[in-house]
Amino acid sequence: MILDDFSDRLDIALQKEMPDHVAIIMDGNGRWAKQRNLPRVAGHHEGMKTVRKITRFANELGIKVLTLYAFSTENWKRPRFEVDFLMKLPGEFLTTYLPELIEENVKVEMIGNFDALPTHTQQAIENARKATEHNDGLILNFAMNYGSRLELVNVVKRIGELAMTNQIELEDIDESLIESCLMTSHLPEPDLLIRTSGEIRLSNFMLWQLAYAEFTFTDVYWPDYNEQCLLEAIEDFQLRNRRFGCVDEEKKGINRKIR
Ligand code: IPE
Ligand code: IPE
Ligand code: MG
């Protein structure tokens, strides 16, 4: 039987296992705008509305963490005007939607190189972080000025420092020590990675953390992404057989990576 009614499909998905952590590479804003003869930044602005829509829906689905890749360490190479616009978006988004986020029990967090952001961007993020720090619903985690390679360089530096100051021995360096030095150390690792706009690459996003995530790609540009698209990705995820290196029989009852 083909069920194309959204609410029926939603009910079915809700009865199955939900990913705890969904990470999205929000891509295609520029092409969305170009298609409409609009400036690229109009696509970024429209994409902000999608962030709101998807945050609300993820919260409804009971997803625990939603990480959104908003600005990469490589995105500084874009034209100055576009970078400035992107740096103003967190301020606009958070001012407009902060009351709603508080109301919906969403907790705003950020990963990335915070110190290198313009002061007004830092303030907007810090303000939202403070205002939502006691919320215990969905964690809305913005990857802002985030680059996985930079993150890993910093992990290596931190471990080097611990070793040089005799706080650890070489034998103490293991996966859990590395994980404890990542910006995501307090979060479960992503179960589902979504990239919009038809690009099939990671663009320096969570290279360590995505080791066992399920990947889904869609041609839809981020400003056109909606609840239906996320539901489709979840349905796809729910059909996957996550083995984590085991064989099926061994893995019965285990549906998360064993740490
Ligand atoms: C994603 O959209 C937003 C950011 C990377 C900041 P793009 O701006 O990359 O859109 P396209 O890929 O040029 O269409
Ligand atoms: C990745 O998108 C970064 C974000 C979505 C923030 P890009 O559009 O920057 O990636 P590339 O350049 O196509 O790899
Ligand atoms: Mg892009």
User: Which of 76, 68, 79 lies closest to 41, judged by CA?
Assistant: 79
pLDDT value of position 251: 66
Beta carbons of 137 and 107 less than 8 angstroms apart: yes
The residue to which tokens 């429209």 are assigned: 46
Report whether 199 contacts 219 (CB < 8 A).
Answer: no
Q: Using CA atoms, how far apart are residues 157 and 163, in angstroms rounded to an integer?
A: 10
Separation of 34 CA from ligand 3 center, angstroms?
Answer: 12
Ligand 2 centroid to Cα of residue 36, in Å, is: 20
pLDDT of residue 258: 43
Q: Which sequence spans correspond to the domains of the chain?
A: 19-146, 148-188
Residue numbers of the chain with a pLDDT score lower than 50: 257-259
**Residues 118, 121, 125, 126: is their CA dihedral positive or negative?**
positive
pLDDT of residue 248: 81
Summarised one tens digit per residue, pLDDT across range 206-249 is: 999 999 999 999 999 999 999 999 999 999 999 999 999 999 86
Q: Whose CA is nearest to atom 1 of ligand 1?
A: 27
Top mutation candidate among 24, 25, 26, 29 for ligand 1, by most atoms within 8 Å of CB = 29
Map residue 97 onto helix, strand or coil: helix
- In the reported structure, the alpha carbon of residue 72 is separated from the centroid of ligand 2 by a whole-number distance in angstroms of 7
**Run of H or E residues at 34:** helix 29-35
> What does the pLDDT read at residue 168?
98
CA–CA gap between residue 55 and residue 92 (Å, rounded): 16
34 Cβ partners below 8 Å, 6+ apart? 40, 43
pTM of the model: 0.95
Residue nearest to atom 13 of ligand 1 (CA): 30
- Ligand 2, pocket residues at CB < 6 Å: 25-27, 69-72, 75, 199, 201, 203
- By annotation, the residues acting in catalysis are 27, 75
Report CA-CA distances (Å) from 106 to 88, 127, 145, 160, 225.
21, 14, 22, 36, 21
Query: In the CATH hierarchy, which fold is given to the domain comprising 19-146?
Result: Undecaprenyl pyrophosphate synthetase (3.40.1180)
CB 128 within 8 A of CB 101: yes
- Reported as a single tens digit per residue, the pLDDT across 120-142 is 999 999 999 999 999 999 999 99
Q: What is the DSSP letter of 19?
A: P
Say how far apart CA 223 and CA 177 lie, in whole Å. Answer: 38
Please name the residue whose Cα sits nearest to atom 11 of ligand 2.
Answer: 203
Return the closest-CA partner of residue 22 out of 136, 138, 132.
138
How far, in Å, CA of 227 to CA of 50, rounded?
Answer: 9
